[in-house]
A and B are shown apart, each in its own frame.
Chain A
């Protein structure tokens, strides 16, 4: 297995520590002029999301983790697994609930998603930054009220619930930012 030395660790470098995959967030080199050099390295566990800081002697290395980000097409959910397809090889893989996390609520099928694979197994799935979805359920808004800035909850076709302005109505398609879960605008037909 390839290894990565402290001077090769950049933000985004993927490493394996005690069998767990991590992504490097920050790497700070410190050295007293005539003393021991160390690197303080902030890393994120790619399975749990937990962030920790480690001190290494400069020149030490970690094993490189076989982690890659790739774009795949989301096909369907069978109630337990989400099936994803590599658009070039048509190879299909399945992601569980932990990997899907927040992404699941924005997907209805056919979308291109960013999948982080570790040894070929999906660690995490990111929905497209914005999605357009139809409102299936929301209270009728107050007619003519377009300016006061009030909001109400609206349920989307995928089951996600977002806050929308009062003038938006059931059956309308809206654009949502999946990173913040916020309504952006009406998407029209």
Chain B
């Protein structure tokens, strides 16, 4: 029985110092620290995020997003929290099924202004002072994949990925074969993502509208989602949105995701009706972002495996 922690005490001290630094950052900026429920009657219906169900029919949160937006709609003003989150079946060198999310919301900010604040926070946590980059999703693909991700169709994306030595699954369904996002995700995780933020961190912004999640979509040609991610040493650290505030659009997206899940025989959790009600009553225009704290600590300390920054990773929990 290996009962000992996988992180050194030096690392655990660095973690404590990081959390203290984060707390100080938000206190100085007068952002309110909040705590919301970990256990909920509803769950995310995101196509690619699965929740742990509890024996009494409730769900462990995969992010504190919905409850925090209800606070915003109720008039909280800017809020932040450090929340334990849980994601079923996510396990690997950079994944643990339970981790810590730093999440915050800024009424009146858009995604660009929030990127500025993410940069300030990380700098105050000893991330590099200079050399930060920002690429649109299109620019990053043009640079590292050699094409415009908004124009190629699924079969071209697949053929070009094969040329790069990544074949994709053998038993593709017709559905997946024709799903641009499926192939863009493979491009991102195998080719483009690993090239981002190799020195200082880099932001990726303006995602395809089909990957909007809970971000608003800007009506351009092609339309893009006002969503960003932060990469450092090729690892995704954060995801942020200029938040969708339209209740009808939000419900439509939830329902479309539920249909997608049902058609594939996946678990279909109930979506958060209270969030929809809060949006109906009025969510202030805002931007929000979530950062994986263990990954941030990994990058700050130059660790290559998430186990090295957790006292007890899943297989010892």
Contacts and interface: CB of A to CB of B under 8 A. Distances in A.
Given A33-B239, A35-B211, A28 B167 contact: no
A33 B236 contact: yes
A34 B186 contact: no
B48 interface: yes
A29 B95 contact: yes
Contacts of B213: 34
Contacts of B211: 34-35
Interface stretch (B23-31, B85-93, B145-153): B85-93
A32 B193 contact: yes
Nearest to B161: A55
B156 interface: no
Contacts of B75: none
B91 A29 contact: yes
B116 interface: no
B169 A32 contact: no
Counting contact residues on chain A (CB < 8 A from B), the size range is 20 to 34
B169 A59 contact: no
A124 B188 CA distance: 40
A152 interface: no
B118 to A, nearest CB: 15
Counting contact residues on chain B (CB < 8 A from A), the size range is 20 to 34
A34 B189 CA distance: 11
Interface in B33-87: 46, 48-49
Contacts of B92: 28-31
Interface centre among B169, B184, B239 (most CB of A within 10 A): B169
Given A7-B89, A28-B93, A55 B239 contact: no
A32 B190 contact: no
Contact of B186 (A28, A33, A38, A59): A38
Nearest to B171: A60
Contacts of B185: 32, 35-36
A98 interface: no
Given A7-B89, A29-B93, A36-B185, A56 B169 contact: yes
Given A40-B190, A54-B167, A34 B239 contact: yes
Interface of A: 7, 28-38, 40, 54-60
Given A29-B91, A29-B94, A55-B166, 5 more contacts: A31-B48, A34-B48, A36-B181, A40-B190, A60-B169
